[in-house]
C-alpha cells in the first residue's frame, strides 16, 4: 500500500474501538501502472476493494458497486416542499432520526451565504421559523418511508447563513452550524450570524422563534458533537488567516442537557475553550499539520476564550502564537467509541507550517485528554485520476465497521469508506457534471449518515443540491 501514498501503520493498535481501524489512500507516491482516461496512476480497480469497482451510471448521477442502487429524495429546483416552494439549494450536513410509524426524518442543511436575492432557491421564510429575514440559509426536514420513498419536506429553520455541518444530540435533535460570522449591517444582514441553532425534527412547534445558542460562541462554525456522559460539547472552526481552532464548551454546574434546554442558557453560560496540544516530549504543537505519522498522540489542554461573542476581535485571533493549536479547515465530526472523530480537510504549503497533506482524521479521547491521528491522506497530485481520494469533509461511523467520509476535494468526488483492517475504497462517485464536457467539474459530497436500521446510507451532492438514499448488500467489513 505504500505505493499508493497511504499513511497507515498497524490497525487496531492505532484505531482501537468498536469501529475498528481505518485508513485511506493518498497520492504522495504514484503507482504508474497503466493509464485510464488519459490519467496516469492507480486505476480504480487496483488495490483493496470493499464492494467491487464502481459501475458508471447511465443516468449520470451516481456510480455505485454492482448490487447497489440509489433513489433521489430531493433535488433543488425539481422537488417541492409541502407548501409548494422548490427544494432549496446547496445541500450540506444531514442527520437521520426515527420518525413515526417506522419512517425516517432527515434534517438537511442548506449552505447558502449572503442575502436571499443572491440565490434562485433560498430556504423559504416559513412563518415563525425565521431568524434573519435577509439571510438565505437554513434547514429542511425530509420525511422518508420505510422503503425509502420521500413523503414530505418542510422548513425546519430559515433566515440563517451558510448552514454547513452540525451535529446530532443524544436527546434526538439537530444542531445546525453557521459557517459565517457576518454582523448585522454586513452583506445586508439584519442580525448577527456565526452561531449554532437547535432544530427538532419531530416537534415543529419547538422550532418557532429561533434562538441562537450564544454560549457556544460566534465564529465560522463547522460541526458540533455532544459528550453524552460529561455534557461537554466540542466544536470545529473552518477558517484561515490564522487557521481555525478546536473548541470545548463546558456547561455550568448543575446544567442538564435535554430537549429545549439549550434555549434556556444565558449567553455567557459555561466556559468556551480552545485546545492546546503537546507532543510526547511535552513540546507545544502549533498546528496539526506537524503530525505526519498515523498513531501520533498529542496531549490536550484547554484555554478559556476571552470573548466568545467576538465583539471586537474574531475568536481565533484572540490568542497569541503559542497559546493554542490550530489546523486548516477543521470540518466534520462524529461521536462514537467514547470520543469525537475530527476531520481536517487539507493543509498545503501556504496554509500551514507543517507537512502538506490532503486530509487528516483525528480522534479525541476526553477521558485521557488525548488527540490521536488515525488517518492521513498524502497529497493527491492528480485529482481527476480514477480512485484518487482527498479532501475529507463530513464523516460518519458505519454500523458495519469503519467509517464513511464525504469527499470535498478537487477533481472527482467520492463517498469513501475504510474498513476495520485499514483498507480504504470508494463506494460511490458523483457523476453530475456541473462544468462542461471539455472541462468537467463535480461538486462535493456532504451529509453522509445511515438510517437507524443501517439499511440506507444518505448523502447529498451540494451542487445543484441533491439528497440521495443508497441501498445495497451492506456487510460487516
Domain map (residue ranges) of the chain: 62-471
Residue 206 contacts residue 107 (beta carbons within 8 Å) = no
Asked, as a colleague might, if the bond just before 464 is cis with ω within 30 of 0, I would say yes
pTM for the structure as a whole:
0.90
Residue 468 contacts residue 451 (beta carbons within 8 Å) = no
Task: Give the separation between CA 289 and CA 214, rounded to whole angstroms.
Answer: 30
Q: What is the mean pLDDT of residues 81-104?
A: 97
What would the pLDDT profile of 333-343 be if each residue is shown by its tens digit? Answer: 999 999 999 99
What would the pLDDT profile of 327-372 be if each residue is shown by its tens digit? Answer: 999 999 999 999 999 999 999 888 899 999 999 999 999 999 999 9
- Flag whether pLDDT at 67 surpasses 90: yes
Task: Give the separation between CA 277 and CA 157, rounded to whole angstroms.
Answer: 36
Q: Is 102 helix (H, G, I), strand (E, B) or coil?
A: helix
Identify which of 44, 48, 40 has the alpha carbon closest to the alpha carbon of residue 56. 44
pLDDT value of position 321: 84
Identify which of 216, 82, 212, 78 has the alpha carbon closest to the alpha carbon of residue 140. 82
Task: Give the separation between CA 449 and CA 93, rounded to whole angstroms.
Answer: 9
The DSSP letter of residue 206 is: G
- Flag whether pLDDT at 306 surpasses 50: yes
- Flag whether pLDDT at 400 surpasses 80: yes
- Flag whether pLDDT at 267 surpasses 80: yes
Identify which of 226, 73, 221 has the alpha carbon closest to the alpha carbon of residue 137. 221
- Flag whether pLDDT at 9 surpasses 50: no
Task: Give the separation between CA 447 and CA 138, rounded to whole angstroms.
Answer: 14
Phi-psi region of 209 (alpha: psi -120 to 50; beta: other; left: phi over 0): left
pLDDT band at 421 (very low <50, low <70, confident <90, very high): low
pLDDT value of position 160: 98
What would the pLDDT profile of 120-131 be if each residue is shown by its tens digit? Answer: 999 999 999 999
C-alpha grid cell, residue 140: 429542511
- Flag whether pLDDT at 29 surpasses 90: no
pLDDT band at 477 (very low <50, low <70, confident <90, very high): low
pLDDT value of position 422: 60
Q: Is 282 exposed, middle or buried (0-12, 13-18, 19+ CB in 10 A)?
A: exposed
The DSSP letter of residue 324 is: S
Quote the mean pLDDT of the chain: 89
Residue 405 contacts residue 447 (beta carbons within 8 Å) = no
What would the pLDDT profile of 440-475 be if each residue is shown by its tens digit? Answer: 999 999 999 999 999 999 999 999 999 999 999 998
Handedness of CA 461, 135, 124, 78 (dihedral sign): negative
Residue matched to cell numbers 496540544 = 277
pLDDT value of position 277: 98
Residue 233 contacts residue 250 (beta carbons within 8 Å) = no
pLDDT value of position 349: 81
- Flag whether pLDDT at 6 surpasses 80: no
Task: Annotate 348-404 with three-state secondary structure.
Answer: CCCCCCCCCECCEEEEEECCCCEEEEEEEECCCCCCCCCCCCCCEEEEEECCCCCEE
State what percent of residues in the chain have pLDDT above 90.
Answer: 80
Higher-pLDDT residue of 242, 419? 242
- Flag whether pLDDT at 382 surpasses 80: yes
User: Which of 2.120.10.30, 2.40.50.180, 1.10.10.10, 3.40.50.2300 is the CATH number of 62-471?
Assistant: 2.120.10.30
Amino acid at each position: 500500500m505504500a505505493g499508493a501514498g497511504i499513511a497507515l501503520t498497524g490497525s487496531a493498535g492505532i484505531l482501537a474501538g468498536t469501529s475498528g481501524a481505518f485508513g485511506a489512500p493518498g497520492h504522495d507516491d504514484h503507482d504508474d501502472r497503466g493509464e485510464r482516461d488519459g490519467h496516469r496512476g492507480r486505476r480504480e480497480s487496483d488495490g483493496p476493494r470493499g464492494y467491487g469497482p464502481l459501475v458508471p451510471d447511465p443516468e449520470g448521477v451516481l456510480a455505485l458497486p454492482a448490487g447497489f442502487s440509489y433513489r433521489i429524495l430531493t433535488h433543488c429546483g425539481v422537488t417541492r416542499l409541502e407548501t409548494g416552494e422548490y427544494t432549496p439549494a446547496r445541500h450540506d450536513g444531514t442527520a437521520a432520526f426515527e420518525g413515526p410509524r417506522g419512517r425516517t426524518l432527515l434534517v438537511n442543511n442548506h449552505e447558502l451565504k449572503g442575502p436571499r436575492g443572491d440565490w434562485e432557491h433560498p430556504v423559504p421564510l416559513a412563518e415563525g421559523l425565521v431568524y434573519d429575514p435577509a439571510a438565505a440559509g437554513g434547514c429542511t426536514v425530509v420525511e422518508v418511508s420505510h422503503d425509502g420513498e420521500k413523503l414530505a419536506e418542510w422548513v425546519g429553520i430559515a433566515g440563517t447563513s451558510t448552514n454547513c455541518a452540525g451535529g446530532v444530540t443524544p436527546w434526538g435533535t439537530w444542531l445546525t452550524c453557521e459557517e459565517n460570522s457576518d454582523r448585522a449591517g454586513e452583506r445586508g444582514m439584519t442580525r448577527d450570524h456565526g452561531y449554532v441553532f437547535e432544530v427538532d425534527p419531530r416537534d415543529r412547534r419547538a422550532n418557532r422563534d429561533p434562538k441562537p445558542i450564544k454560549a457556544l460562541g460566534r465564529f465560522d462554525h463547522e460541526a458540533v458533537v455532544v459528550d453524552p456522559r460529561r455534557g461537554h460539547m466540542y466544536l470545529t472552526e473552518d477558517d484561515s488567516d490564522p487557521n481555525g481552532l478546536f473548541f470545548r464548551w463546558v456547561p455550568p454546574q448543575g446544567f442538564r442537557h435535554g430537549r429545549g434546554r439549550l434555549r434556556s442558557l444565558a449567553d455567557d453560560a459555561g466556559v468556551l475553550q480552545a485546545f492546546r496540544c503537546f507532543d510526547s516530549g511535552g513540546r507545544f504543537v502549533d498546528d496539526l499539520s506537524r503530525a505526519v505519522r498515523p498513531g501520533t498522540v498529542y496531549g490536550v489542554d484547554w484555554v478559556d476564550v476571552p470573548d466568545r461573542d467576538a465583539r471586537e476581535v474574531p475568536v481565533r485571533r484572540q490568542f497569541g502564537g503559542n497559546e493554542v493549536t490550530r489546523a486548516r479547515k477543521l470540518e466534520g465530526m462524529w461521536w462514537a467509541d467514547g470520543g469525537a472523530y475530527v476531520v481536517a480537510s487539507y493543509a498545503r504549503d501556504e496554509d500551514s507550517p507543517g507537512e502538506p497533506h490532503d486530509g487528516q482524521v483525528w480522534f479525541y479521547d476526553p477521558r485521557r485528554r488525548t488527540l490521536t491521528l488515525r488517518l492521513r491522506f498524502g497529497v493527491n497530485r492528480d485529482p481527476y485520476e480514477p480512485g484518487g481520494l482527498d479532501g475529507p469533509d463530513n464523516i460518519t461511523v458505519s454500523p458495519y465497521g469503519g467509517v464513511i467520509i464525504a469527499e470535498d476535494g478537487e477533481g472527482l468526488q467520492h463517498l469513501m469508506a475504510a474498513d476495520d483492517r485499514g483498507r480504504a475504497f470508494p463506494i460511490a462517485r458523483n457523476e453530475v457534471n456541473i462544468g462542461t464536457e471539455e472541462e468537467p467539474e463535480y461538486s462535493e459530497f456532504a451529509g453522509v449518515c445511515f438510517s437507524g436500521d443501517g439499511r440506507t446510507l444518505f448523502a447529498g451532492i451540494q451542487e445543484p443540491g441533491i439528497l440521495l438514499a443508497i441501498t445495497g448488500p451492506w456487510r460487516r467489513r
